[in-house]
Amino acid sequence: MNKESSKNLILVLISIALIIVVGLGLINAGIITTETPELNSEKIHATLIINYGNDNIDEYTVEITSATVYSLLIKTSEENNFEVAAEYYEEFDSHLIESINSVKGEGDMFWQYYVNGELGMVSADSQLIQDNDIVEWKYEQFEY
């Protein structure tokens, strides 16, 4: 192995080690989760708000067995006859909401969720909801 190849190999190994260390740090900090949320059989009450971004807002009160933001949206859509389109990404084990009630993300407008006024920081599949939570899906411009 020549000197240049050795340097490149060392740089690759350092890069891989750095990626692993940063990834483990993000997992330990709770920014990245590797665990599936634990659901139980308790009944909870939640409010689901769908804000279409044009002064059109739908609000639902839902009783559901412990759930995630995603399962609350799906259950509510089934009970109230509106469509939700989602794309499943196996590598992230999560769904991305593409449209709600025929309003589809376009350009820099997307569906984003909030729980009790706080922007969701994990996928909707991973965010557990609790009794009396208010979950709001907003069709809004994504801030980069």
Give yes or no: residues 28 and 81 share one domain. Answer: no
Give yes or no: residues 48 and 9 share one domain. Answer: no
- Pairing type for strands 134-141 and 109-115 reads antiparallel
- Give the model's pLDDT for residue 28: 56
Instruction: Supply the range of the domain harboring residue 27.
Output: 1-32
Closest to 58 measured CA to CA, from 122, 124, 130, 135:
135
Give yes or no: residues 84 and 57 share one domain. Answer: yes
- Give the model's pLDDT for residue 15: 47
Taking the whole predicted model, whether its pTM rises above 0.85 is answered as no
Q: Domain of 109: which CATH number?
A: 2.170.130.30
CA distance 33 to 118: 18
Q: Is residue 38 part of a domain?
A: no
- Give the model's pLDDT for residue 23: 53
Name the token pair of 43.
């009944």
- Give the model's pLDDT for residue 77: 96
- For the purposes of burial, counting CB atoms within 10 Å of the CB of 111, is it exposed (0-12), middle (13-18) or buried (19 or more)? buried
Q: Is residue 37 part of a domain?
A: no
What are the 10-residue block averages of pLDDT along the chain, 144 residues in total? 56 50 52 51 90 94 91 96 94 92 92 96 94 96 74
- Give the model's pLDDT for residue 18: 47
- Give the model's pLDDT for residue 50: 97
CA distance 5 to 27: 33
Q: What percentage of the chain's residues is helix, strand, coil (to nearest 5)?
A: 25, 35, 35
Q: Is residue 103 part of a domain?
A: yes
- Give the containing element (helix H, strand E) for 118: strand 118-119
Q: Which amino acid is at 39?
A: L
- Give the model's pLDDT for residue 12: 46
Give yes or no: residues 102 and 132 share one domain. Answer: yes
